[in-house]
Amino acid sequence: MKYFIVSDIHSNLEALESVLDEKDSHHSDSQLVCLGDIVGYGPSPNECIEMIFERTEHTFLGNHDSAVTGSTSSERFNSYAREAIQWTREHISRENLSKLRSMHLGRHFDDFLAVHASPSDPRSWIYITSIYAAYKEFKAVDDRVIFIGHTHIPAVFSMNNEVEMTLQDSVDLDRDKRYIINAGSVGQPRNGDPRACCAVFDTEKMEVMYIKKEYDIDKTAKKIRDAGLPGFLSDRLKRGV
């Protein structure tokens, strides 16, 4: 089985289209899974929600999705994120809002757990950014392979006797180890590489491969500015931060 795993699309339609083109042309046999944050930051919330829901039932709730519906407070968000949440609330259709409301926090697939932020407590939106944070998660749950998003950094944490982290573009999973795998961000990468990022998990080969795709960043950046969203949100796309 092959899974095509996208996360943190953040209303960036051009980035989403570019990774789904890649799926259609090179991974058409894969199952699409979305780890959440379809909306927030970007200018195309309705188009992104519709595109994801058309193509998969496996889409899970992110903190921005939850904030738009009002079930997570945006108080802890930075001012740019908060402004974008407010903008999204004003522009999302009623139908798409109810799609966001229908999303669950995660799901156990045969070969892995899928969740937006942290497996130990998905609703607290913990950021797994360090080896220590990953270690605490490995201790708290017993899933062998866990896919997450949320930090926008494509990274693989592995645990045997100790926890290690790698930023390699492809990783062969070792049967003796456990893994927390961050799929990276389609619509707002923060690893210094502005290309749209997602992951393919081949459960037969036990291999994870990252896909990094160029897209028309200038077009998205202009849409952000034209929408009246904070200019910083368009500038950061070009730098991948």
Q: Which of 194, 185, 197, 241 is nearest to 218 (CA)?
A: 194
The Cα–Cα gap between 27 and 55 comes to: 14
Which range of residues in 4-12, 23-31, 49-57, 160-168 is near Zn ion by CB under 5 A?
A: 4-12
Q: How far is the CB of 235 from Zn ion (least distance, A)?
A: 17
The Cα–Cα gap between 12 and 44 comes to: 6
178-182 and 145-148 as β-strands: parallel, antiparallel, unpaired?
parallel
Q: Quick check: 4 and 31 in contact, CB under 8 A?
A: yes
Instruction: For the beta carbon of residue 33, count every other beta carbon within 10 angstroms.
Output: 24
The Cα–Cα gap between 16 and 34 comes to: 11
Write out the binding residues for Zn ion, residues 99-158 only, by CB under 5 A.
none
Q: How far is the CB of 37 from Zn ion (least distance, A)?
A: 4
Q: How far is the CB of 182 from Zn ion (least distance, A)?
A: 11
Q: What is the largest CA-CA distance in the chain?
A: 51
Q: How far is the CB of 139 from Zn ion (least distance, A)?
A: 25
Which range of residues in 5-13, 117-125, 155-163, 214-222 is near Zn ion by CB under 5 A?
A: 5-13
Residue closer to Zn ion (CB basis): 123 or 177? 123
Which range of residues in 7-15, 46-54, 90-98, 159-167 is near Zn ion by CB under 5 A?
A: 7-15
State yes or no: residue 8 binds Zn ion (CB under 5 A).
yes
CA 126-238-195 angle, 5° bins: 70
Q: Quick check: 179 and 144 in contact, CB under 8 A?
A: yes
Q: How far is the CB of 122 from Zn ion (least distance, A)?
A: 14
User: Positive or negative CA dihedral for 134, 139, 144, 147?
Assistant: negative
Q: How far is the CB of 62 from Zn ion (least distance, A)?
A: 6
The Cα–Cα gap between 116 and 36 comes to: 6
Write out the binding residues for Zn ion, residues 28-47 only, by CB under 5 A.
37
Q: How far is the CB of 152 from Zn ion (least distance, A)?
A: 6
Residue closer to Zn ion (CB basis): 36 or 173? 36
Which range of residues in 3-11, 126-134, 199-207, 210-218 is near Zn ion by CB under 5 A?
A: 3-11
Which range of residues in 1-9, 23-31, 198-206, 218-226 is near Zn ion by CB under 5 A?
A: 1-9
163-166 and 106-108 as β-strands: parallel, antiparallel, unpaired?
unpaired
State yes or no: residue 65 binds Zn ion (CB under 5 A).
no
Residue ranges that bind Zn ion, judged by CB under 5 A: 8, 37
